[in-house]
């Protein structure tokens, strides 16, 4: 009783974590927006209507960054969960994301040769809202289920036998799995870009003079819901508790009756499913997919996970958005070809000055 009495006033004064996070995110977006506007305005002050134009393009870019960030965040969650629970950098995760993008494509159009009856053979947008929603949900479910199962299979075959091997061994198999996924996909679909039918009608919503595509809103809302869902799962359910326990101390968790193999498999299932969802987003947002897009996306998502404090779910999500902000900013100031290098510099700087990540110490939860 005494402890409660002494701690409750402090707790009452602070807002709940989610609220603080939302406020912080909002402030971050506003600051970023101001930065973008300033950068664009200053770069061509003399042009007529310069201020309005810079507001317009900046709005567009913020929307772009939020969608990109949502995709990176979903991939980063897979990295961070796996690292949190078995301390393995799952190099194959970026490629799981890439395969997810292709599964989405195969479902909407047609799968390769012997299985091509499995696809919906779509070519363009779907005007009927009910059908559209059903198809979208189905595409998500197919990609998420499939990639979840693929990721579990990878864990079972390539990582589990090496759980007690020297640390370098599972890292090498991870890079091997990454090469396998990438090259199998290359053999199936070839090296070029594959066009994805953008099934959501090209309707725009006007915000601050900019035209935001509906698909952007859909992606952002669905991604945020998935992240909240994951938080609830990890913090409120029995399996989520088992995951957190395993992340803290495998042996102790096992002694408390946690099924280690099941918990780790579950982590890979969820990570793969999120990557699958991100893959479908990727296809729908950019309109094309490639066999090698997993490499860069994986590197960025991993940087996001490190930035947020690896092992930390909220951190990974915020890191994903932060990386996207950095990338879009480098595009906004006309240095798109350096964006990859800038992201890498971010990774090095974080490792030098704050290796535990931005949220590494403040939040104890890990999964």
Partner 1 sequence: MSGRLANIGGPRGAAIRSQIRDITDAHRSLTIIVAMAIVGLVLPILATVPPFSIFQSLDVWLNGFSNAGVFVLLALGLNIVVGLAGLLDLGYAAFFAIGAYAYAYGASPFSGIHAPFIAMLLIGALVAATFGVLLGAPTLRLRGDYLAIVTLGFGEIVPIVFLNADKYTEGTNGIGGIYSPDLPFIEFTILNPWPFYALVIALVAIVMVFVYRLQESRIGRAWMAIREDELAAASNGLNTVTTKLLAFALGASTAGFAGVFNAAKLTLVSPEQFLSTVSFSILAMVVLGGMGNIWGVALGAFVIYTIQIVLLKQLNAFFAELHVPILQDINFVQYQFLLYGLALVLMMLFRPEGLFPSQRRKRELHSAATAEAESSAVAALDESLS
How many residues are listed for the chain in this entry?
Answer: 367
Instruction: Answer whether 179's CB lies under 8 Å from 312's CB.
Output: no
Choose between 225 and 261: whose C-beta lies nearer to partner 1: 261
Distance from C-alpha of 274 to C-alpha of 72, rounded to nearest angstrom: 10
Asked if residue 344 binds partner 1 (CB under 8 A), the reply is yes
Q: Among the residues of 287-338, which ranges form H helices?
A: 293-307, 313-332
Q: Where are the beta strands (DSSP E) in the chain?
A: 194-195, 204-207, 210-213, 288-289
The string over 194-209, giving b where at least 16 C-beta atoms fall within 10 Å of a residue's C-beta and e elsewhere, is bebbbbbeeeeeeeee
Instruction: Give least dist CB 170 to partner 1, A.
Output: 8
Instruction: Give least dist CB 250 to partner 1, A.
Output: 15
What DSSP assignment string belongs to 213-279? EHHHHHHHHHHHHHHHHHHHHHHHSHHHHHHHHHHH-HHHHHHTT--HHHHHHHHHHHHHHHHHHHH
- Choose the stretch contacting partner 1; rule: CB under 8 A; options: 58-66, 137-145, 193-201, 344-352: 344-352
Distance from C-alpha of 289 to C-alpha of 191, rounded to nearest angstrom: 10
Instruction: Give least dist CB 157 to partner 1, A.
Output: 8
Asked if residue 286 binds partner 1 (CB under 8 A), the reply is no
Instruction: Give least dist CB 309 to partner 1, A.
Output: 13
Instruction: Give least dist CB 89 to partner 1, A.
Output: 5
Choose between 262 and 349: whose C-beta lies nearer to partner 1: 349
Q: Which of 38, 115, 184, 214 binds partner 1 (CB under 8 A)?
A: 184
Pairing of strands 194-195, 204-207: unpaired
Q: Which of 109, 295, 358, 363 binds partner 1 (CB under 8 A)?
A: 295
Asked if residue 268 binds partner 1 (CB under 8 A), the reply is no
Grouping H, G, I as helix, E, B as strand and the rest as coil, residue 205 is: strand
Instruction: Give least dist CB 344 to partner 1, A.
Output: 4
Grouping H, G, I as helix, E, B as strand and the rest as coil, residue 194 is: strand
Q: Which of 60, 182, 263, 282 binds partner 1 (CB under 8 A)?
A: 182
Asked if residue 296 binds partner 1 (CB under 8 A), the reply is yes
Nearest to residue 199, comparing CAs of 138, 147, 112, 145? Answer: 138
Point out which residues pair with 233 in neighbouring strands.
Answer: none
Asked if residue 80 binds partner 1 (CB under 8 A), the reply is no
Asked if residue 187 binds partner 1 (CB under 8 A), the reply is yes
- Choose the stretch contacting partner 1; rule: CB under 8 A; options: 104-112, 122-130, 282-290, 345-353: 345-353
Q: Which of 91, 102, 325, 329 binds partner 1 (CB under 8 A)?
A: 91
Q: Which of 340, 354, 358, 363 binds partner 1 (CB under 8 A)?
A: 340
Choose between 222 and 305: whose C-beta lies nearer to partner 1: 305
How many residues bind partner 1 (CB under 8 A)? The answer is 45
Instruction: Give least dist CB 53 to partner 1, A.
Output: 28
Q: What percent of the residues of the chain are helix, what percent strand, and what percent coil, each to the nearest 5?
A: 75, 5, 20
Pairing of strands 288-289, 194-195: antiparallel
Instruction: Give least dist CB 167 to partner 1, A.
Output: 6
Q: Which of 226, 323, 347, 367 binds partner 1 (CB under 8 A)?
A: 347
Asked if residue 228 binds partner 1 (CB under 8 A), the reply is no
Backbone phi, psi, residue 290, to 5°: -135, 155
**Token match 């309005």: residue?**
52
Binding residues for partner 1 restricted to 124-163, rule: CB under 8 A? 157-158, 161-162
Binding site for partner 1 (CB under 8 A): 87-89, 91, 157-158, 161-162, 164-173, 175-180, 182-184, 186-187, 295-296, 299, 302-303, 306, 337-338, 340-341, 344, 347-348, 351-352, 355
């Amino acid at each position: 009783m005494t402890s409660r009495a002494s701690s409750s006033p402090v707790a009452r004064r602070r807002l709940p974590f989610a609220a603080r996070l939302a406020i912080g995110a909002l402030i971050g977006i506003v600051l970023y927006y101001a930065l973008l506007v300033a950068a664009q305005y200053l770069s061509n002050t003399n042009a007529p209507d310069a201020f309005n134009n810079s507001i317009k393009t900046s709005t567009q870019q913020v929307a772009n960054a939020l969608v990109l960030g949502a995709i990176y965040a979903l991939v980063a969650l897979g990295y961070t969960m796996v690292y949190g629970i078995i301390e393995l950098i799952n190099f194959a995760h970026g490629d799981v994301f890439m395969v997810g993008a292709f599964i989405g494509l195969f479902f909407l159009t047609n799968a390769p040769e012997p299985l091509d009856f499995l696809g919906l053979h779509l070519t363009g947008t779907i005007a009927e809202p009910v059908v559209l929603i059903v198809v979208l949900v189905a595409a998500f479910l197919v990609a998420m289920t499939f990639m979840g199962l693929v990721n579990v299979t990878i864990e079972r075959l390539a990582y589990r036998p090496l759980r007690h091997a020297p640390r370098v061994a599972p890292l090498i198999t991870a890079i091997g799995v990454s090469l396998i996924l990438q090259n199998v996909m290359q053999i199936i679909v070839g090296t070029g870009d594959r066009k994805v039918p953008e099934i959501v009608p090209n309707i725009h919503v006007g915000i601050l003079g900019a035209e935001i595509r509906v698909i952007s809103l859909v992606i952002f809302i669905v991604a945020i819901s998935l992240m909240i869902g994951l938080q609830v799962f990890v913090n409120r359910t029995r399996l989520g508790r088992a995951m957190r326990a395993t992340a803290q101390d495998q042996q102790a968790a096992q002694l408390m009756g946690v099924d280690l193999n099941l918990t780790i498999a579950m982590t890979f299932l969820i990570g793969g499913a999120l990557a699958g969802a991100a893959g479908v987003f990727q296809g729908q947002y950019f309109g094309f997919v490639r066999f090698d897009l997993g490499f860069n996306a994986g590197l960025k998502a991993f940087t996001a996970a490190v930035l947020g404090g690896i092992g930390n779910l909220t951190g990974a999500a915020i890191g994903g958005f932060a990386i996207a902000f950095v990338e879009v900013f480098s595009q906004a100031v006309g240095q798109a070809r350096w964006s990859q290098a800038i992201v890498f510099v971010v990774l090095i700087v974080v490792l030098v000055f704050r290796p535990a990540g931005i949220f590494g110490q403040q939040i104890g939860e890990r999964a």
